[in-house]
């Protein structure tokens, strides 16, 4: 596996992995790496271009764009990671139960719950949750977690179907291992690779969705910085001060691409059938 992982780390993927590592540092140490208060206004220097005082310029209220991008990254990653954890736990449990027990349990978990969620357009479900509960970090985490759970459920379900009749599972049953141990101690570790890959892809999707909702004014509540709301505010100045829009927009694109490339690397390294090592 180590050799597959090393072979999967092409130069572009190494750069993407380094970028993701940088985002994690920002998540943990935003107050330490931010050059100034992201909410501090300096109207005299509004819409200033990149320079020594403000490396990425200022916005329409004179707020430092670099500081707002850093704190926006923190918000984006917190929501994306929170939603991914909720989706992974909920979806994996549903898939494990449905795949292992079959019968009425499969009908309830995979047909009633998962298929019903998949029947609705994703953005509609999130908009409904935001409308009912109001915009905010907690609402977004729960709503997107439920939204992404069916993907994890289907992956877990398919993997459980393929391994539950294998010798090591039957051996655990023969030795009297309780159901909980067979599910979470025997089967789950052996189906974890595709779930791990899906984590990075889900994070990228969550960042894109949260940015879109914040762009529409339905995401993070102002004045908390968010890349999507920064893009929405900056579009008014595209013709005169394009940096106000282009900087946060570039970080949205780069972050989504980085997590996508990390997901490709994990798929190539963890899946022996994969040949996507370019």
Chain segment 214-267, per-residue pLDDT in tens: 888 888 888 888 999 999 999 999 888 999 999 999 999 999 999 999 888 888
Give the pLDDT score at 278. Answer: 43
Is 45 among the domain residues? no
Is 35 among the domain residues? no
Give the pLDDT score at 223. Answer: 83
As beta bridge partners, residue 64 has 58
Using 70 as the pLDDT threshold, list the residues of the chain that sit under it.
Answer: 1-8, 271-278
Q: How many domains does the chain have?
A: 1
Helix (H) or strand (E) holding 115: helix 115-119
100, 157 in Cβ contact below 8 A?
no
Tell me how far apart the alpha carbons of residues 219 and 141 are, in angstroms, rounded to a whole number. Answer: 10
Q: Is 64 helix (H, G, I), strand (E, B) or coil?
A: strand
Q: Is 25 helix (H, G, I), strand (E, B) or coil?
A: helix
31, 52 in Cβ contact below 8 A?
no
Is 47 among the domain residues? no
CATH of the domain at 219: 1.10.3720.10
Give the pLDDT score at 3. Answer: 65
Tell me how far apart the alpha carbons of residues 198 and 209 are, in angstroms, rounded to a whole number. Answer: 16
Is 42 among the domain residues? no
Is 238 among the domain residues? yes
**Which token pair is 242?**
């394009």
* Residue that the structure tokens 């960042």 belong to: 207
Among candidates 68, 15, 5, which has minimal Cα distance to 42? 68
Is 46 among the domain residues? no
**Which token pair is 194?**
């595709």
Give the pLDDT score at 273. Answer: 56
Is 39 among the domain residues? no
**Which token pair is 228?**
């999507």
Tell me how far apart the alpha carbons of residues 22 and 162 are, in angstroms, rounded to a whole number. Answer: 38
64, 58 in Cβ contact below 8 A?
yes
Is 36 among the domain residues? no
Q: Is 58 helix (H, G, I), strand (E, B) or coil?
A: strand
Give the domain extent around 139. Answer: 2-28+67-270
């Amino acid at each position: 596996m180590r050799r597959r992982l090393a072979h999967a780390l092409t130069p572009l993927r190494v750069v993407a992995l380094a970028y993701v590592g940088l985002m994690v540092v920002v998540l943990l140490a935003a107050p330490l790496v931010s050059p100034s208060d992201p909410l501090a206004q300096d109207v005299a220097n509004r819409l200033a271009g990149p320079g020594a005082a403000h490396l990425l310029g200022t916005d329409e209220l004179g707020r430092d764009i670099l500081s707002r991008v850093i704190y926006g990254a923190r918000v984006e990653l917190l929501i994306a990671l929170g939603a991914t954890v909720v989706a992974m736990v909920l979806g994996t449990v549903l898939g494990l139960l449905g795949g292992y027990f079959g019968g009425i349990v499969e009908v309830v978990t995979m047909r009633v719950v998962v298929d019903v969620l998949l029947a609705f357009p994703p953005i509609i479900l999130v908009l409904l949750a935001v409308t009912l509960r109001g915009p905010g970090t907690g609402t977004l985490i729960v709503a997107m977690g439920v939204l992404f759970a069916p993907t994890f459920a289907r992956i877990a379900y398919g993997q459980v179907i393929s391994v539950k009749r294998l010798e090591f599972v039957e051996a655990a049953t023969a030795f009297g291992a309780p159901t909980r141990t067979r599910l979470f101690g025997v089967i789950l570790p052996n189906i974890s690779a595709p779930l791990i890959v899906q984590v990075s892809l889900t994070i990228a999707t969550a960042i894109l969705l949260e940015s879109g909702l914040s762009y529409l004014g339905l995401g993070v509540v102002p004045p908390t910085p968010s890349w999507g709301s920064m893009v929405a505010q900056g579009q008014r100045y595209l013709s005169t001060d394009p940096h106000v829009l282009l900087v946060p927009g570039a970080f949205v694109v780069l972050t989504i691409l980085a997590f996508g490339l990390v997901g490709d690397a994990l798929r190539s390294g963890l899946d022996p059938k994969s040949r996507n090592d370019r």
